[in-house]
Structure 1
Amino acid sequence: MSTSDPRPALFDQWLPAEYRRRGDFTVLVVLVGIDTRSIELLSSTFMNVIGDETRWREVRQLFQSSETDWNGAAFFPVDSVIGPVPNDMARTQLRALEEKVRADRRVLNGGHFFDRKGRRLKVEEIVH
């Protein structure tokens, strides 16, 4: 990631900044497994963010309880003028996001992509 990127580098900086900008909101989440040459979509969910008190430690514990061997998590806030969106709308948007990620892993860069320690990640294409 470039140092000129205006987005906060750590999850614990990003979430409060995103909350100040949006207020309560829905975020789509994609968990992935990353190895040296590939990224595998493992699972996905959505969450309603109400307040800015949540920190990476709590989110990581929640993801660990899913018993999925993930090492990357991408967060995609849902644009809405009404705050959190209805669950059926979030599910529909989540399925569409999953398809986009399956087709092109670089879609993860369009969200807020973090490693297990809450640090920013970026997908880069491997050039042969």
Structure 2
Amino acid sequence: MNWLMVLAGAAIGAPLRYLTDRGMRARYGSAFPWGTFAVNVTGCLVLGLVTGAASAGAASAHTQLFLGTGLCGALTTYSTFGYETLLLAEGRMPFAAVANVVGSVAAGLGTAFLGVAVAEALWG
């Protein structure tokens, strides 16, 4: 049963990642990887919420598998983040490459902490 929860979450997360990236590229162009940034930061927020809810006893193991492992695992992407940062650096856009790294790490950690804090406020 556990693997079904992961599979179901991933079946939602992967298309969301793809559609988000396409939508961000259509809206903002492809000079900066806004789609990858958006899915990674969103995934950090969701995982923070799920972790905080689980710590408070408000999220079951199945919820953690579905949302945390499945959805967030398929939605977020460290490899694409790394590759796109490399492309920025190789494309003689060092400021954009550094901004991508610093912004992604700061926003990701910030939203993860925010998610835990919100979950603790709701269920703690």
Which structure has more RCO (C-alpha within 8 Å, separation ≥ 6)?
2
Q: TM-score, normalised by structure 2?
A: 0.35
For the pair shown, which has the larger CA radius of gyration, 1 or 2?
Answer: 2
Q: TM-score, normalised by structure 1?
A: 0.34
Q: Name the structure with the higher strand share.
A: 1
Q: Name the structure with the higher helix share.
A: 2
